Chains A and B, each alone.
Chain A
Amino acid sequence: MAASIRVCGVLRVTFGGVAPLRTAGGAVQRSHLSTLSTTPAFTPLTPAAAAAVTWQQVRHGSFFNKLTADELWRGVLGETGAGSKKGRGKRAKRKMKKDLNRGQIIGEGKGGFLWPGLNSPVLREGVVQTMSLRGESEQQELQAELVRQREEWDRRRRMKVKRERGWTGSSWGGISLGSPDPGPNGETYEDFDSRVIEVKTVFNMTAKEGRKRSISCLVAVGNGNGAAGFALGKAPDRTTALRKAKNRAIHYLYYIERYNDHTIYHDIDSTVKKTTLRMKKQSRGYGLHCHRAVITICKLIGLKDMYAKVEGSVNLLNVTKALFTGLANQETHQVLSDKKQLNVVEFQSERGPLPLLVARPEGGARAEPEPQDAIPNTRLHWEDVRAAQGMKRSVWAGVKRTIW
Chain B
Amino acid sequence: MDPEVQDILTRITGLDLQKVFKPVKQELKPPTYKLLTDTQLEEATQLARLEAQKLLRMAPVLPEREPINDILSEDKILEGMDTAKYMFTDITYNIPHRERFIVVREPIGTLRKATWEERDRLIQVYFPKEGRKLTAPPVFKEENLKVMYSQDRHVEVLDRCLVQFEPDSSDYIRVHVTTYEDVERQGKYDLLRSTRHFGGITWYLVTARRVDRLLVDMLQKDLLQDAESLVSLFNMVHPHSETAQEAARLQASGTDLLKVYAKFESQRAGYIELALQAYEQSPAESSAV
Do A and B make up one complex? yes
Interfacial residues, chain A to chain B (CB-CB below 8 A): 263, 266, 280-286, 333, 336-337, 340, 342-355, 357-358, 364-370
Q: Which residues of A contact B31 (CB under 8 A)?
A: 283, 346-349
B131 interface hit (Cβ, 8 Å): no
B4 CB, nearest partner CB in chain A, Å: 30
Check A352 against B35 for contact (C-beta < 8 Å): no
Check B38 against A365 for contact (C-beta < 8 Å): yes
Q: When chains A and B are docked, how far (Å) is the Cα of A284 from the Cα of B35?
A: 23
B250 interface hit (Cβ, 8 Å): no
Known: A351-B23, A355-B44. A283 touches B30 (CB 8 A): yes
Within 8 A of A (CB), among B63-122: none
Q: Which residues of A contact B48 (CB under 8 A)?
A: 352-355
Q: A343-B41, A350-B24, A366-B37 are in contact. List 14 more A-B contacts (CB 8 A).
A: A263-B30, A266-B33, A283-B29, A283-B31, A342-B37, A344-B34, A344-B35, A347-B34, A349-B29, A349-B31, A350-B28, A351-B23, A353-B44, A369-B37
Chain B CB within 10 A, most for which of A263, A266, A333, A351:
A351
With CB as the reference atom, state the residue of chain A lying closest to B40: A369
B110 CB, nearest partner CB in chain A, Å: 52
Check B34 against A345 for contact (C-beta < 8 Å): yes
Q: Which residues of B contact A336 (CB under 8 A)?
A: 35
Chosen A-B contacts, 14 in total, with CB atoms closer than 8 Å, are A263-B30, A286-B28, A336-B35, A340-B35, A343-B37, A345-B36, A346-B31, A346-B33, A352-B21, A352-B24, A353-B44, A354-B18, A355-B36, A366-B37
Known: A353-B44, A355-B45. A343 touches B36 (CB 8 A): yes
Among B22, B29, B38, the residue within 8 A (CB) of A343 is B38
A287 CB, nearest partner CB in chain B, Å: 12
Q: Which residues of B contact A354 (CB under 8 A)?
A: 17-18, 21, 48
B287 interface hit (Cβ, 8 Å): no
Q: Which residues of B contact A284 (CB under 8 A)?
A: 28
Check B22 against A351 for contact (C-beta < 8 Å): yes
Check B35 against A342 for contact (C-beta < 8 Å): yes
B181 interface hit (Cβ, 8 Å): no
Among B30, B36, B47, the residue within 8 A (CB) of A353 is B47
B51 interface hit (Cβ, 8 Å): yes
Chain B CB within 10 A, most for which of A345, A348, A354:
A354
B150 interface hit (Cβ, 8 Å): no
Q: Which residues of A contact B135 (CB under 8 A)?
A: none
Check B35 against A370 for contact (C-beta < 8 Å): yes
Q: Which residues of A contact B38 (CB under 8 A)?
A: 343, 364-365
Q: Which residues of B contact A367 (CB under 8 A)?
A: 37
B286 interface hit (Cβ, 8 Å): no
B26 interface hit (Cβ, 8 Å): yes
Q: Which residues of A contact B34 (CB under 8 A)?
A: 344-345, 347
Among A266, A345, A348, the residue within 8 A (CB) of B23 is A348
Q: When chains A and B are docked, how far (Å) is the Cα of A266 from the Cα of B30?
A: 10
Check B28 against A345 for contact (C-beta < 8 Å): no
Q: Which residues of A contact B151 (CB under 8 A)?
A: none
Q: Which residues of B contact A347 (CB under 8 A)?
A: 31-34
Among A266, A283, A350, A355, the residue within 8 A (CB) of B41 is A355
With CB as the reference atom, state the residue of chain B lying closest to A265: B33
Among B25, B29, B36, the residue within 8 A (CB) of A369 is B36
Q: Which residues of B contact A355 (CB under 8 A)?
A: 36, 41, 44-45, 48
Q: Which residues of B contact A345 (CB under 8 A)?
A: 33-36, 41, 44
Check B26 against A350 for contact (C-beta < 8 Å): yes
Known: A281-B30, A345-B41, A346-B31. A351 touches B21 (CB 8 A): yes
Q: Which residues of B contact A368 (CB under 8 A)?
A: 37
Q: When chains A and B are docked, how far (Å) is the Cα of A39 from the Cα of B37?
A: 118
B52 CB, nearest partner CB in chain A, Å: 8
Q: When chains A and B are docked, how far (Å) is the Cα of A349 from the Cα of B44?
A: 15
Known: A345-B36, A352-B51, A369-B36. A357 touches B41 (CB 8 A): yes
Q: When chains A and B are docked, how far (Å) is the Cα of A353 from the Cα of B46?
A: 10
Q: Which residues of A contact B45 (CB under 8 A)?
A: 355
Closest 3 CB pairs of A and B: A283-B28, A354-B21, A342-B35
B55 CB, nearest partner CB in chain A, Å: 8
Check A358 against B26 for contact (C-beta < 8 Å): no
Among A285, A353, A358, the residue within 8 A (CB) of B28 is A285
Q: Which residues of A contact B35 (CB under 8 A)?
A: 336-337, 340, 342-345, 370
Q: When chains A and B are docked, how far (Å) is the Cα of A357 from the Cα of B33?
A: 10
Q: When chains A and B are docked, how far (Å) is the Cα of A100 from the Cα of B181?
A: 90
With CB as the reference atom, state the residue of chain B lying closest to A368: B37
Q: Which residues of B contact A281 (CB under 8 A)?
A: 30
Q: When chains A and B are docked, how far (Å) is the Cα of A369 from the Cα of B45?
A: 16
